[in-house]
Structure 1
Amino acid sequence: MGCVSSKKKLSKSDLEFLEENTEFTKDQIVEWYEGFILDCPNGELTKKKFIQVYRQFFPNGQAEAFCTHIFRTFDADNSGKIDFKEFLMAINITAKGNPEKKLKWAFKMYDIDSNGSIDRQEMLRIIESIYDLLGATAAQNAPNGAITNRDPNDTPESRTAQIFAVMDEDNNGVITEEEFIRGCMADRVLYQMLTADTSDPER
C-alpha cells in the first residue's frame, strides 16, 4: 500500500503520550503504528477502514453499527477521520482500559446527542448495535439481526427496559453518568454488556 521509504514516523511526543496513557508497551505501540501506516499511509483512518480493522476483534459479529458509534465518540471534530493517537486510545479503552475509564468512555458513546444524559432511545440504539456485534450465531438473513440461540424474550427493547429499571435511580427517564457508572460497577453482567467486554470489572 504505499512506499515504505515515504511512510511517516511516529513522533517522540505521541509515543511518550501513548506510553503514559495506554496499557500498551513501547514496542506494542510501534508495532500498532507500523500496521496503521501500512493501511493508512497518510496517517488518517476513515470510518470505513476503522470498521475493517475493528472487525478483527469481533470476527463472528456484525461490527458496523457499534463501530460507527465508537468512531463518532473519538472523531471529536466530525472530520470523518481519526489519527493514530486517537485510534490507539480507542483500542486501548475498549480492549484494555480500566473499568472506570471504560465506563466514562462508554457513557460518551451512549450519550449520542452529547447532552450529559442517556435517554431510552439512545440506549436502545447502542444495545441493538452490541447485540449485532456479539451475535456470534446471528442468523445472516434473519430480520432485525435476530440471534438464533438467544432467549426470544431477550431483545434489545427488553434489555433497555431492564437497564433503566436498574440504573434510572430517580425514575426521571434518563441516566446520568454517575448512575451509569454506579449501575455497571454493581452488576458484572451489565458492565460486560454495556462495554462489550468479557472481563470482570472487579479486576
Structure 2
Amino acid sequence: MKKQLIDGQDELLILVNEQDIQIGVQDKLSVHIEGLLHRAFSIFIFNSQSELLLQQRSNGKYHSPGLWTNTCCSHPRPGESTLDACNRRLYEEMGMSAELKFSFSFLYQFKFLNGLTEHEYDHVFIGQTDQGPEINLNEVQAWKYISIPDLEIEIALNPELYTPWLKICMAQLKENLPFK
C-alpha cells in the first residue's frame, strides 16, 4: 500500500484495548496496516421523517471507496473527546451540525482486499436535523435519505454497495433508535 493513498496518513489514532481504555497512539497508516484496535465513531443523522442520511464515500478514499455508509464516521484525535470529534467531522464531511447523543458502542474487525484492516472500538452517535448537507467532495461523492426498512431491503439485495461497519451495526442501531 503506497503511503500517499491514505488521507491524513500522519494523523495519530488512539489505540485502545477491548474495554476502550487508551493504551497508546500511532499513525493512521500503520494502525490500518497492522490491524490495531483503535477508537472510532459513527454518526447517524435522521430527518424529521425518521429517514437516515447516508453518504456515498468518495472514490478517493483509501478503503471502501464509492460505498454507501452512515452519515459520517472517523476517529477522535488524541486529547479530543469523542463528541467533539463527532461535531468536527460532521461539519468537515457533511457541512452540517446537529445535537448528537451517544447511543451504543460495538467492536469490529474487517480486512479489506487492499491489505488494510479496520479494527475499531466504534462509538455510535445519533442526531436529528432537517438541515441539508453541504458535502466535502474530498470525502463524500453523493448523499441520500432512506428509511431504515428500505435500507435493510437495499442491503439485502446489494450488500456489496454498503460498508462493512454499516452492515455490522444495523441490528443494534434499530434497537437503539430514539423513535420507533
Q: Report 1 or 2 for greater relative contact order, CA contacts < 8 Å, sequence distance ≥ 6.
A: 2
Higher helix share: 1
TM-score normalized by the length of structure 1 = 0.24
The structure with the largest strand share of the pair is: 2
- Larger Cα-atom Rg: 1
TM-score using structure 2 length: 0.26
